[in-house]
Structure 1
Amino acid sequence: MRVIAGSARSLRLKTPEGMATRPTTDRIKETLFNIIGPSMYDCTFLDLFSGSGGIGIEALSRGAREAVFVESSPKAMKCIKENLTFTRLAPKALTVTSDVMNALCRLEGEKVFDFIFMDPPYDQGYERRVLEYLSESELAYEDTLIIVEASLDTDFSYAEEIGFSLIREKRYKTNKHVFLERAGREEIC
């Protein structure tokens, strides 16, 4: 796994050993950042269920002002910190070793994000719990783009009833990215 573009371009990132994390492949990461990349400069980025930190590091490499990495596994967080040091992006990063729901509560009132990315364990309902929290949260504002990496069969039909518009879905062979914003916004990415 490597950084695709920006200040840390081509640097190889470490991934935690074992099967507890599934790093986003370079090809899928490149497709994602081709979609959102033009908006990266000077943004604030929240990377939930961070794993190796590859998505948040890509955002920082492409010009994000700050990225917050939330990961519950101390082993994975050690890997994220090593990757941040190796890419020289650590000064623009905040790491939170905690389960996601507790981390969101701790960040409340301290941060507001332009992008919120989450790649939770598949088919366990974490997406919905996080989205329900974000629907009432000050961490996201009306222009915040929320991106969920999920299995192909993950259902997001509930999004509208909890206050989100599904604005785009990008499907790959084994998973998909779902792009959401608070309902009522007219512009589509």
Structure 2
Amino acid sequence: MSRIISGIVGGVPLAAVPGSATRPTTDRVKEALFSRLDALGMIARARVLDLYAGSGALGVEAASRGASTVELVESEAKAAQACERNARTVNDAVSRRAVTVHRSKVSSFLERVPPGPHWDLVLMDPPYPLGEDPLAAVLGAVADRLAPDGLVVVERSARSPEPSWPDGLVRYGDRKYGETRLWFAEPAADGREAADGEGGSAVAGARA
């Protein structure tokens, strides 16, 4: 059973999605991801968006660790219900509505949000069968709604190619964990080249 790893509700089991409609991020990958995000200062007080949320495990982990607001976007009915249960666990613990759930397709949700710096951290765990072109279209919409010092994390199969980054995003690095690869990207700036995966980026001090 997956759990919230750390923070105000650390150790609490997560409500799972019945059946096999989603592919949950393993606790090993989640722990490695959030250790890195903590080191980058990307969680505390951040506005977080969790796309293709599944059970909401990534978003509620961010909320438990001190994110200011978290939005979970999931279209599948049973998964959205699990999101609601897990959001309620965190919201009850912090005595406010830190986590909100949107039952919606990702593309439709993003279309309803006007361009602007809405989120500091965007977590994306799309279904592995999702094609590269639809993924690129979502990344383009995300780029138009990301804060200037924001960060995007995309979880993909280790056998999938690097995502096609839109003009508004540049690769910051990647990490491989077994069959999973995490891709990190940040807002593009004039003259900035893709990082080698080890740093030098402005995001390292974004919320220091």
TM-score by length of 2: 0.83
Match of residue 64 from structure 2: 61
- CA contact under 8 A between 2:42 and 2:121: conserved in structure 1? no
The number of residue pairs the alignment matches comes to: 186
SS at match of 1:168: strand
Identity of aligned residues (%): 32
In the alignment, is the contact (CA less than 8 A) between 1:167 and 1:188 conserved in 2? no
Write the distance in 2 (CA, Å) between the matches of 1:40 and 1:53: 16
| 8 Å contact kept, 1:123–1:151 | no
What is the TM-score with the length of structure 1 in the denominator? 0.90
Contact preservation (8 Å) 1:4, 1:58? yes
1: CA distance between counterparts of 2:47 and 2:203?
A: 19
Residue 91 of structure 1 and its aligned partner are, at CA, apart by 1.1
CA separation in 1, counterparts of 2:203 and 2:82? Answer: 35
User: Once superposed, which parts of structure 1, at least 4 consecutive aligned residues long, lie more than 4 Å away?
Assistant: none
Structure 2: gaps spanning 5 or more residues: 193-200
Cα displacement string for residues 35-58 of structure 1 (whole angstroms, at most 9, x for unaligned residues): 002321111000000000000000
Q: State whether residues 116 and 147 of structure 2, in contact with CA within 8 Å, keep that contact through their aligned partners in structure 1.
A: no
1:170 to 172, 175, 179: 175
Relative to structure 2, which stretch is displaced further, 149-158 or 13-22?
149-158
The one of 132, 137, 161 aligned to 1:129: 137
- Once superposed, what is the RMSD of the aligned Cα atoms? 1.9
What runs of 5+ residues in structure 1 fail to find an aligned partner? none
Match of 1:7 in 2: 8
- What does residue range 95-114 of structure 1 map to in structure 2 within 5 Å? 95-108=101-114, 112-114=118-120
Deviation at 1:164, TM superposition (A): 1.9
User: In 1, Cα distance between the equivalents of 2:164 and 2:112?
Assistant: 26
What is the alpha-carbon distance in structure 2 between the residues aligned to residue 72 and residue 110 of structure 1? 24
